Structure 1
Amino acid sequence: MTPPPARRRRSGAPERSYPRRGAVRRAQMITTYGVGSLVAVDNESFMVTGIDSWNVAEAPTVFEHRLARALGVKSFRLPPASDGTSRDGVHVRRFPLWHSCPKCAVLQHVRQFNSPPGKNECGDCEEDLVPSRFVMACAKGHIDDFPYWKWVHRKNRQEGRAGFCGGEMRLRTSGKTASLRSILISCTCGVPEVSMEGAFSGTALSDLKVFCSGRRPWLKDAPDDPCSERPRTLQRGSSVAWQPIVRTALSIPPWSDGHFTRLQNHLDQLRQLYEEGNHGGIDIYLKALSLTEKYDFSPPKVIALLEAENQEDAGADGAATADSAFVALRKQEYERLIEGRAESESDHEDQFVCEPPRSSASVLTPYGVTGPMLVKRLREVRALKAFSRVDTPETRTDVHEAALSLRSMDWLPAMEVQGEGVFLRLDEQRVDTWVRSTAVAARVEVMRNNHIRMMRERSQDPDSVPESPATPRMVLLHTLAHALINEWSLDGGYPAASLRERLYTGETMAGVLICTATSDSAGSLGGLVAQGEPDRLRESLDSALDRARWCSSDPLCVESGGSGVGGINLAACHACVLLPETSCEHNNGLLDRALLIGTPENPSIGFFSEVLSP
């Protein structure tokens, strides 16, 4: 994760040598161990530093024009890899800084243990030190060591007293229970021994008059940021200690074209020539480029690509005035998935191949499914935009986005997944008729109200909470995607975690793309595309809907008035339609299988109730 002992720079000046501390996969640097996260390596704990400290000289560049424009950067970079011959690497720093010795039980700052050089052990006992299990953080992303001294002396110190008592703190575990009550802290100054019980309450630290320090240890030389947020005690490995904010986009024409991808590093110069109307200059530039790149760039094709790009940009800018930039991305993808791109019209470097199945899709008409498309080649870019702490970034909530770097950077860390998928739409007229049902609207309204209430409870400004995306159309498509992923994981041999949904919902959209979510061998073998053939898709729908009719938790599941976090689900649980969280865009929220198959009291509210056998 940090660079190995470095070679000399090209200029001849020696680089500083850093020890290596473990390794993680590149994909984990986006979703699990990104900037600001805590990584446990053996008996030590480290925090990943900001991207402005990374050595990305040899890290591959990832281009995705649409996503880069939406995020305000020029390009993306794969997290740098570090091996015995590379200078690349992700830097980390030790955190938390308070440690304890398992033998002598001393609890203090790591520098006070007099550890031998290059080792993290007690200088007296020669035992490996244990990093603090507890930290404090706030909703703005600041994080610091837990204030152990103030916690132990909270009833035995004068208000406003500066400095410490001069004693030595110790930490031990009674072993009677696994609760916080068994974690005991004492001080040699003579104060009574106290436990960690109550440290996780919302007012535990504020009652001690402990305020947020504004520390950002993942950013090198970052000054303390003034902060009025109330800090909270967290476990070092808690899921809310670091939550990634990831944005994704598909590569679609014209940006998926092989010509376009080869010209990524030269687009600024070509765009300038195009805007000046200097087509002759483009021809000369491409001829000179062909001599170095050893690739034949066709000037008419490049000009056509620039024209298409200009039109797409103009259309996207117009859409972004009413909707967010990311909604505009989805609309562009939806249109391209409907339009398709035949394999015969693309070359082997094209990153988007989408065509209709060979057999007739009329067998899907009774299900209200129309226009299935087989996405035989697909590229998705996932970029880490920021991260949050304490507050979980639920659907469209206003969590604070902690920055990945201290200074502005023109790139973000990202990964690309190349695979395949199946895209299908629901008949718009049939959906509109079904949405007008009073019973359907009433069920979705319950979910919507629960979601809005949850967002207001977690929001810093309850009056500015955005509208919930829960609509009958969205919940229907979302639950259908989950049912199909579960079915294909059983019938098609795919692990559920290797498939991922991509929803296209709105007034003019009613589609879902189910694609491979990983870049391993399950990603591009053609098995998922085969599931999109109409006959097999009909069988999958029959089987998925039949499974959805009965859950092992029924009747509790189907009669639920609210389940999941904040009660934003209705008839949905781990025994029926929930998925691994990596496969779901909405953290397993806003689901209701009753909208697929109906309820025992009212089967007609199910969109597919007419095709279900009695």
Structure 2
Amino acid sequence: MTPPPARRRRAGTNGAVPAHTLPRRGAVRRAQAITTYGVGSLIAVDHESFVVSGLDEADKNWSTDESRRIHERRLARLLDVDYFRLPPASDDTSRDGLRVRRFPLMHSCPECNELQRHRDFNPPPGQSVCRTCGVDLVPSRFVVACEAGHLGEFPYWQWVHRSTDRGASTAGRCGGKLRLRSSGRTSSLRSILVSCTCGQAPEVSMEGSFRRNALKDLGLTCRGTRPWLGTSAPAQECGLPLRTLQRGSSAVWQPVLKSALSIPPWSDGRADPLAEHWDRLRNLNGRAEIEGVLKFLFPDGSPIPVHEVMALLDAEHEEDPHDEDAPTFDHRYRALRNKEYERLRSGNDESEHSHDEQFVCETPPGDQSMLGPLGVTGPMLVKKLREVRALKAFTRLADPESTTESKEMPLSESPLRWLPAMEVRGEGVFLRLDEDRLGTWEKATAVAARIKRMRAAHQRVLEQRASDPSRLVPSPATPRMVLLHTLAHVLINEWSLEAGYPAASLRERLYAADDMAGVLIYTATSDSAGSLGGLVAQGEPELLDRTVRSAVRRAEWCSSDPLCMETEVSGTGGTNLAACHACVMLPETSCEHNNILLDRALLVGTPDDPHLGFFASVLSR
């Protein structure tokens, strides 16, 4: 038989092949593409479920008009990229958006109870319905993941046939079809029943499938599947234990976010045209070489003078970690924070700079000596700030703050010279604690004892989750870090009541080290709660004095006391002490450390030891 002629695609204008039109499925905000629905995450749209695709094809798919470049040299250097890009717009007029792939592929029909891959239901194009019954298909509620970041389908066949002598290698060879139904007796996993029509295995429930070793007992380990990268990413055997998860669980995807404030001399945007050339310029010696390269790169004239380029290079070298022979990512990130702390302390008056300046930090008017009895010093009004928040990678099963870099899953199969990011323009209040008073307080025996318990608990969590003990990250728990962290939380709660800001629209940025003791609280969203001046006004000495006193007094009592104050184990793995959702915990988007390493007893003391608190003198009056 003569084979049919090859199918030919219709040509577009001037003979060009028309662009492939993909169906639209829902919409997300740009910020959600970084914090909630980033690459590798699962997203539910109506009755369907998808995984957000990787960035390998994003350069071709994302329109430059709808996904413009943004620059923040200090953060780009830290993450070893040239620039960042906003996720594409997602509205009725946009030409493209985030690409997604259907996942999980296993679906069930609530009418005929069949459980099989989506394509085996033979649904009409663009729909997710059972061809036989005409009802909407239900994506599998369960998926499996490992701590290396891989994601896979729940092994229903092995789960049903676990009581037979069939091994995992014979999956699907019994000739039967899987079925899934709910008995309706309870809302627990015991009522979700899976069976096979082969008759060789009894109907089993999903009870026990979430046990830590449930899949290990079946002889199953991770196969290294990465569905967000599609067929271009062949599975590589991973071998780590698999965990069963609910499809909508927060443990399925956790973003690894890194951020930086735009501070002088990078905050006026003049250096942005040189974003892709800084690595080359750093390797040059002397003014003549730099001038020659600039003439080559910009024949029509450099966007900024040579002396400004040299000043920017000097500013870069100042952020290099000088005390480390081979600085790690943590060392470089700490150096970035140190420079921000210096700039927040010194300020940056708006009258001395152009209108394009994105960082304005001024000393508040009024008598700051009234803050002395509180142990608070150096308040600054951050009237303008710009933060760039980039999605570096993601993790599964483990919180990003409690994992090593080796467990971070990249956003693409091949390395990219850019990362998706969002920028926030807002305002904030910066304050510091008195170093002399803080140093005396840190040496107290009771303070050291509480911190030692928290640090030991946090270190155990880190050790349990570390795949490589040699790269174990030490716990950051210190007396001043926990104190500043808890203080930031109670101030955010206070300002959400007094200044009208929702707690989720405020964010903390901690500066805690041997030579740093400060906290910046700033607007963390770019919507109407962003930069209207209400937060900056709270930094004036009179208002700040009243706010700190009120926040400390409010933290003295919790509706869960005495249980909250007297507990010896709280939070994930016992990493908190006197802290719960009724007193100091915040929405996850507002906290840098996922609501761990908190203890309000360090602020207000305990009934047995009221002098334990840093602000005990405020409460005694």
Q: Return the TM-score normalized by structure 1.
A: 0.93
Deviating more after overlay: 472-481 vs 447-456: 447-456
Does 1:214 find its partner at 2:221?
A: no
Which of 197, 205, 209 is the matching residue for 1:199? 209
> Does 1:174 pair with 2:180?
no
Tell me the residue number matched to 2:443.
436
Q: Give the superposition deviation at 1:465.
A: 3.0
Does residue 303 of structure 2 align to residue 306 of structure 1?
Answer: no
Give 1:79 deviation, angstroms: 0.8
Q: Which residue of 2 aligns with 1:565?
A: 572
Counterpart residue type for residue 201 of structure 1: R
Residue 77 in structure 1 maps to residue 85 in structure 2: yes
Does the C-alpha gap of structure 1 residues 209 and 289 become closer, same or farther in structure 2, counting only changes over 3 Å? same
The reply to whether residue 186 of structure 1 matches residue 195 of structure 2 is: yes
Residue 396 (structure 2) pairs with residue 389 (structure 1) = yes
SS at match of 2:421: strand
1:228 paired with 2:239, answer: yes
2:5 is matched with: none
Question: Which letter does structure 2 place at the counterpart of 1:256?
Answer: S
Aligned residue number for residue 26 of structure 2? 22
- 1:519 is displaced (CA, Å) by 0.4
Q: For the Cα contact (< 8 Å) 1:243–1:387, is it kept in 2?
A: yes
Distance 1:449 1:267, change over 3 A: closer
- The structure 2 residue matched to 1:490, chosen from 484, 497, 500, is 497
**1:151: how far off?**
1.1
Q: Counterpart of 1:524 in structure 2: which amino acid?
A: S
1:245 paired with 2:256, answer: yes
Contact kept, 8 Å, 1:548 with 1:597, in 2: the verdict is yes
Is the 2:579–2:598 contact (alpha carbons within 8 Å) kept by the matching residues of 1?
Answer: yes
| Matched residue type, 1:244 | P
Distance 1:282 1:147, change over 3 A: closer
Residue of structure 2 in register with 1:328 after alignment: 335
Partner of residue 75 from structure 2, selected from 54, 62, 67: 67
The equivalent residue for 1:4 is: none
Partners of 1:261 and 1:157 lie apart in 2 by 64
Deviation at 1:374?
A: 0.4
Matched-pair contact (CA < 8 Å) for 1:139–1:388: yes
Which residue of structure 2 lines up, in the alignment, with residue 132 of structure 1? 140
Distance 1:266 1:396, change over 3 A: closer
SS in 2 for 1:219: helix
Mean CA deviation greater in 188-197 or 66-75: 188-197
Residue 605 of structure 2 is aligned to residue 598 of structure 1: yes
Query: Could you tell me how far apart the structure 2 residues matched to 1:64 and 1:537 are?
Result: 31
TM-score of the aligned structures, taking structure 2 as reference length: 0.92
Q: 1:196-215, CA deviations, whole angstroms, 9 ceiling, x for partnerless residues?
A: 11111112112222221211
Q: In structure 1, how many angstroms separate the alpha carbons of the residues matched to 2:465 and 2:298?
A: 54
1:276 corresponding residue in structure 2: 288
Structure 2 distance, partners of 1:281, 1:493, is 52
Distance 1:519 1:459 in 2: 35
Structure 1 unaligned residues grouped into runs of 5+: 1-6, 291-296
Corresponding residue of 2:520: 513
Deviation at residue 263 of structure 1 after TM alignment:
5.7
1:550 to 542, 547, 557: 557
User: Are 1:274 and 1:282, in contact at CA under 8 Å, matched by a contact in 2?
Assistant: no
**Residue identity matched to 1:184:** L
Q: Is the 8 A contact 1:64 1:381 kept in 2?
A: yes
Instruction: Determine the structure 2 residue equivalent to 1:293.
Output: none
Report if aligned partners of 2:27, 2:91 keep a CA contact under 8 Å in 1: no
Deviates more, 1:463-472 or 1:382-391: 463-472
What's the CA shift for 1:162?
Answer: 6.2
Answering whether residue 529 of structure 2 is matched by residue 522 of structure 1, we say yes
* Structure 2 counterpart of 1:413, one-letter code: P
- In structure 2, how many angstroms separate the alpha carbons of the residues matched to 1:10 and 1:274? 52
Q: Work out the CA distance in 2 between the residues paired with 1:548 and 1:199.
A: 41
CA distance in 2 between partners of 1:381 and 1:259 (Å): 17
2:7 corresponds to which residue? none
Q: Match of 2:8?
A: none
Count of aligned positions = 599
Matched, 1:50 2:61: no
**AA aligned opposite 1:596:** L
Paired residue type of 1:199:
S
Residue 318 of structure 1 is matched in structure 2 by 321
1:100/1:274 Cα in 2 relative to 1: closer, same or farther (>3 Å)? farther
Identity of aligned residues (%): 60
Contact 1:374 1:422 in 2 (8 A): yes
